[in-house]
């Protein structure tokens, strides 16, 4: 796992986020993380990548392997680390925290 991915996973709350956020299949990328999102009708993959200005770009994707389709549903740029969970909640409609 890259340093960026480890830092991002830590900022998201490590295992707590993975359980509460219904995240599965977490994969480290060169600039961040990609994971499956369960229970979201809008999309099923979330990609979070570090931008050059030390903010994150969060993108929700709808991937359909049977039809070989991959469509970006929505992307938000300039997301600060302290707003990541709120951003994920607004994109997916799923809770990522206990409080």
DSSP H or E stretch at residue 9: helix 3-12
Predicted structure pTM score: 0.82
Q: Report the pLDDT value the prediction gives residue 94, as an integer from 0 to 100.
A: 78
Q: Report the pLDDT value the prediction gives residue 99, as an integer from 0 to 100.
A: 55
C-alpha distances (whole Å) from 73 to each of 45, 47, 88, 98 are 10, 11, 13, 26
Report which DSSP code applies to 28: E
Q: What is the CA radius of gyration of the chain?
A: 13
Q: Report the pLDDT value the prediction gives residue 93, as an integer from 0 to 100.
A: 81
User: Using one digit for the tens of pLDDT, what is the confidence trace for 61-97?
Assistant: 999 888 888 999 999 999 999 999 889 888 888 776 6
Residue tagged 């206990």 (tokens): 98
Instruction: Specify the 3-state DSSP secondary structure of 41.
Output: coil
């Amino acid at each position: 796992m890259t340093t960026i991915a480890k830092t991002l996973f830590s900022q998201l709350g490590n295992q707590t986020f993975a359980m509460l956020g219904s995240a599965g299949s977490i994969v480290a990328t060169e600039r961040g993380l990609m994971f499956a999102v369960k229970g979201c009708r809008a999309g099923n993959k979330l990609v979070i990548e570090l931008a050059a200005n030390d903010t994150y770009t969060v993108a929700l994707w709808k991937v359909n392997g049977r039809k070989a389709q991959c469509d970006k549903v929505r992307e938000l740029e300039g997301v600060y680390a302290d707003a990541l969970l709120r951003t994920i909640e607004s994109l997916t409609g799923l809770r990522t925290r206990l409080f």
